[in-house]
Copies of this chain bind each other. A is one copy, B any other.
Amino acid sequence: MQTMFLYNWNVREDWYRWCEEINEDELLLVRTGGVGGILHTLFHIIDVEWSWIRILQGKPDFEESFDGYKSLNQVRALDDKFHEEVEEFVRNWDDDMELNVLEETMPDGRIVIDTWGEVMRHVIAHEIHHIGQLSVWAREIGKKPVSANLIGRGLVPISKTDK
């Protein structure tokens, strides 16, 4: 589980660096698909990751809109602010938590049951999916996207592979 989060954080950092080279108008331009823009997507990824981690802990989640975060610096600052709590939860993740149950009541009264393991994987897949959208938009503005490769990032310490 942790490796996939490390992958997402690593790729996200690469995208922040990629954004530094792009005109802010391009980062804010409303585009087709997803949540409709590059910076908005990064904001959305941060928001969703943090919100689910908060929900699993029974804490209130984030309610702000993208309107207050329309610059790369503001989005990165929000990420920095949330990351500590997210990282701590992920670092302390244990396989014993897999089948913990999250029970939520939907607006229509239905009760939905997800396991914590499903929620964590949902968060992982959510980010990768949205990053895939960024890769199309990058090409639309004539730029090479960040690599989506998981191998080659040194996510598993080489010492562990040396056996």
- Residue numbers of A with Cβ under 8 A of B are 3-4, 7, 32-34, 99, 101, 112-115, 117-119, 121-122, 124-126, 128-133, 135-140, 145, 148-152, 155-156, 158, 160-163
Q: Which residue of B lies closest to A150 (CB)?
A: B122
Q: How far is the CB of A160 from chain B (nearest CB, A)?
A: 6
Answer whether A156 and B117 are a contact pair too, CB < 8 Å, given A129-B132, A132-B133: yes
Q: Which residue of B lies closest to A138 (CB)?
A: B33
Q: Is the CB of A115 within 8 A of B33?
A: no
Once the chains are docked, how many angstroms separate the CA of A136 from the CA of B117?
28
Q: Is the CB of A150 within 8 A of B118?
A: yes
Answer whether A112 and B152 are a contact pair too, CB < 8 Å, given A125-B128, A135-B33: yes
- Within 8 Å by CB of A125, from B7, B101, B145, B156, lies B7
- Within 8 Å by CB of A161, from B34, B113, B152, B162, lies B113
Q: Which residue of B lies closest to A101 (CB)?
A: B161
Chain B residues, CB < 8 A from A161: 99, 101, 113-115
Q: Is the CB of B99 within 8 A of A151?
A: no
Q: Is the CB of A150 within 8 A of B135?
A: no
